[in-house]
Amino acid sequence: MSPKISIITVVYNDAKHISKTIESVINQCYQNIEYVIIDGGSKDSTVDKINNYINKVNIFISEQDLGIYDAMNKGTRLATGDFLLFLNSGDVFHNNGVISKLAEYIIKVKPVDLIYGDVGIATSKINFIPILKSKQISLIIEGMVANHQSCLISRDLQTKYNYDLKYKLASDYHFILRSYLNGARIVQIDEIISVISDGGVSDANRLSVFREKLRIKNELNYSLKNYFDFYIESGYMYIASMGKKILPNAVLTILYKRKYEN
């Protein structure tokens, strides 16, 4: 029997981008999909946009929450699928066959708790979509191995740990690291799962994210980075952030190709 997969979209005041995310989900070829949308009480026309597709959405609520991870936890509680994937507003699947491919992997590699792959990075600075390759799971002790938009998570694992709300920017990292350290069955696949925008919440707060990850490692007694590493990484992030703002697009294109295209 084909596994039921719940796609959960979290959105707040993003009327400009929510439609493309919804269409990316409802155009998937896979049939056994449950679609859940959690809106944080948007004040713009986001809810109107969602209502244009309401007959294609299985569960929709619009109410205030405590932030993105609270909304994602809420989506987890409402979802009934065997596996969950968070595709938040502005993000899209790489193609219409992604969920079908993931369902095949579920059957092929079971038992499995988490399957993850690659993401494309959409940016207005360059005229192509670079691919950010996922890393092997053992490297999770150093940093995030994949974006959460490229992670398919069993409902059992997600409900067991959920997202810790004391981490505002890197709770997804905490979730995966905790799962790994507690023996979750995690499988990396060589597939592009989603395309995300360059410049999301965590991208805009790189240093704060890094500080949170340091706290997470300390909490889980797995801190391999010391504070000297933190300052080195902070300097790198500052230079990278400034480079995006001041370098010509032609130069950024070359740098993106060197970084992402192997």
Q: Is the peptide bond before 248 cis (omega within 30 degrees of 0)?
A: no
Is 259 contained in some domain?
Answer: no
Is 257 contained in some domain?
Answer: no
Report residue 158 as tokens.
């997600």
Each residue's pLDDT expressed in tens, for the chain with a length of 262 residues: 899 999 999 999 999 999 999 999 999 999 999 999 999 999 999 999 999 999 999 999 999 999 999 999 999 999 999 999 999 999 999 999 999 999 999 999 999 999 999 999 987 666 667 899 999 999 998 889 999 999 999 999 999 999 999 999 999 999 999 999 999 999 999 999 999 987 655 555 777 888 898 899 889 887 555 455 555 555 555 555 555 555 555 554 554 556 555 5
Give the pLDDT of residue 244. 53
Give the pLDDT of residue 257. 57
Is 221 contained in some domain?
Answer: no
Backbone angles phi, psi at 120, to 5 degrees: -95, 150
Q: What is the CATH number of the domain that holds 121?
A: 3.90.550.10
Is 205 contained in some domain?
Answer: no
Question: Rounded distance, CA 209 to CA 253, Å?
Answer: 25
For residue 60, give the 3-state DSSP assignment.
strand
Give the pLDDT of residue 204. 56
Task: Give the bridge partners for 33, in sequence order.
Answer: 5
Is 204 contained in some domain?
Answer: no
DSSP H helices in 110-248: 155-161, 171-181, 201-204, 206-219, 227-246
Considering Cα of 121, then 122, then 125, then 130, what sign does the dihedral take? Answer: positive
- Structurally, the chain folds into a number of domains equal to 1
Is 194 contained in some domain?
Answer: yes
Give the pLDDT of residue 52. 99
Is 145 contained in some domain?
Answer: yes
Q: What are the CA-CA distances from residue 3 to residues 35, 59, 147, 187 (Å)?
A: 14, 18, 22, 17
Question: Rounded distance, CA 212 to CA 233, Å?
Answer: 13
Backbone angles phi, psi at 136, to 5 degrees: -65, 145
Full domain range(s) for residue 50 = 5-198
Is 225 contained in some domain?
Answer: no
Q: What are the CA-CA distances from residue 68 to residues 18, 19, 34, 64, 101 (Å)?
A: 15, 19, 20, 11, 27
Instruction: Name 108's Cβ contacts closer than 8 Å, sequence gap at least 6.
Output: none
Measured between alpha carbons, how far apart are the two ends of the chain, in Å? 37
Question: Rounded distance, CA 55 to CA 129, Å?
Answer: 32
